[in-house]
Amino acid sequence: MVKLQVSLHCIVFLLVMSVHADDMSRKSFGFTPLTASGIDDYEATVFNQQLRNEIEKIGLYSILEFSEIQTRLAEQGLPNSCSDLHCAVVAGQLLGVEYFGFGSIGKVGKTYIMSMQLVEVRTGRIIRDLSEFFKGKRSAFRQKIIPRFATRICGLEYEKK
C-alpha cells in the first residue's frame, strides 16, 4: 500500500513538473491591442482578441492578457497602445516579456489591413514586420487571415487546412 501511495505521488509530481516545464520553455509575449482605423471599436476588440487567442493556441508563447497589460501600463502613465518601437521596448521591459508586438488593424474601402511589428525586448530589434491585405467578407477575414497572421507572427509557415 505504501509503495502504491509513493508511486502515485511520484506520478502526480512528474505530471505537475512536466506542465510547469512546458510553461517555462515557452517565451513570454505581449502586445497592446492593434490600433484600429476604419472599423468600429467592437470589431477591433473582436479581431484583437481573436489574434491573441490564435497566438496562444499555437503554444510557442506564454502570452499576457490585454487587461493585465493595460492595467500595468496605466499604472506607469504609459499609453494603452503602442505605435512605435520605443514604446514597445519600454512596455516590454515594464511587463517583463521577451517579445512585444505593436501594429494596426483596419479597413480601407473593402480591404482589411492588419500589420504588426514584433520586437525582441532585450535588444530593441524588430524581428518580424508583417502585413496582410484582404479584400472580402469579415467572416472570411476572421476565419482565414487572422489565424494565418498569428502563425506567421510566431515565425511558422501557415498550412491551409
Say if 7 falls within a structural domain.
Answer: no
Name the band, by pLDDT with cuts 50, 70 and 90, for residue 5: low
pLDDT at 149 exceeding the cut of 80: yes
Average pLDDT, integer, range 8-14: 44
* pLDDT per position as a tens digit, 124-142: 999 999 999 999 999 999 9
Cβ contact 23:57 at 8 Å: no
Q: Which of 145, 146, 135 is nearest to 111 (CA)?
A: 135
Say if 9 falls within a structural domain.
Answer: no
pLDDT at 38 exceeding the cut of 70: yes
Total number of domains constituting the chain: 1
Average pLDDT, integer, range 13-19: 41
Say if 18 falls within a structural domain.
Answer: no
Say if 11 falls within a structural domain.
Answer: no
pLDDT of residue 17: 40
pLDDT at 64 exceeding the cut of 80: yes
pLDDT of residue 91: 94
* pLDDT per position as a tens digit, 76-99: 998 888 899 999 999 999 999 999
DSSP of 100-129, one letter per residue? Answer: EEEEEEEEETTEEEEEEEEEETTTTEEEEE
83 is in which domain, residue-wise?
27-153
Name the band, by pLDDT with cuts 50, 70 and 90, for residue 156: confident
CATH code of the domain containing 31 = 3.40.50.10610
Say if 13 falls within a structural domain.
Answer: no
Say if 82 falls within a structural domain.
Answer: yes
Say if 160 falls within a structural domain.
Answer: no
* pLDDT per position as a tens digit, 102-123: 999 999 999 999 999 999 999 9
Say if 129 falls within a structural domain.
Answer: yes
pLDDT of residue 16: 40
